[in-house]
Amino acid sequence: MSANAQAVTGKKSTFWARALVLLGAACVSLWAVGTMAQIQTNEAFITGIQTVNIFHPDWSILWQIPDLVQGKFDATEGMAVLFGWTIEIVYLIFITGYEIAILAVQDASGQRAARWFRTLSYFIVIFDGWTDYQFGTLGQWGHLGAALIMAFVVGFLGTIGMKLVEIGWSHA
């Protein structure tokens, strides 16, 4: 809250705190849609689907891991789900906790394994962008625009949104 708003009202306003929570929730919502779109493009690579409508999220993706654990997919679908989610989780680790992941691999398996993880995770992040490029479209910008927007949305809006919600909630 600004000092001017507090001086005018004579009390602590919750308007800005609520605005931060709403903005943060919007960021997290876009992050969820972007994450689902990236999983869809990764799965499309494995299954050979020619087009993916990344602007129409498939909410059933959220149930794929429990369905995979329960053996509800045939071999091709199961591999596509495992492939899509693994790539996405590595991408999210790369954005939110890369140093922690490197240390965890190094502590458990040694320096050589940590180097392999580092190399493979860079490859996976690049591959994730490539699948977004192959299957996404965004008006005039086309495939490149879709890939860049997906990388930005999934890479940053989730963590920014969570921080905005945290700060707004603590000041409400």
User: For residue 57, which of 81, 34, 80 has the smallest C-alpha distance?
Assistant: 34
CA distances from 51 to 85, 109, 139 (A): 19, 40, 15
- Looking at residue 146, its pLDDT comes to 82
CB 31 within 8 A of CB 147: no
What is the pTM for the complete model shown?
0.81
User: How confident is the prediction along the chain (172 residues), in pLDDT tens digits per residue?
Assistant: 455 545 444 446 788 899 999 999 999 999 999 999 899 989 988 888 877 776 677 888 889 999 999 999 999 999 999 999 999 999 999 888 888 999 999 999 999 999 999 999 999 999 999 988 887 666 666 788 888 888 999 999 999 999 999 999 998 7
Compute the distance between CA of residue 5 and CA of residue 15 in angstroms, rounded to an integer.
10
pLDDT confidence of residue 153: 94
Which residues contact residue 137 at a Cβ distance below 8 angstroms, ignoring those fewer than 6 apart?
54, 143, 146
Per-residue pLDDT tens over the stretch 16-30: 899 999 999 999 999
Task: Return the pLDDT at 137.
Answer: 65
Report the chain's terminal Cα–Cα distance, integer Å.
10
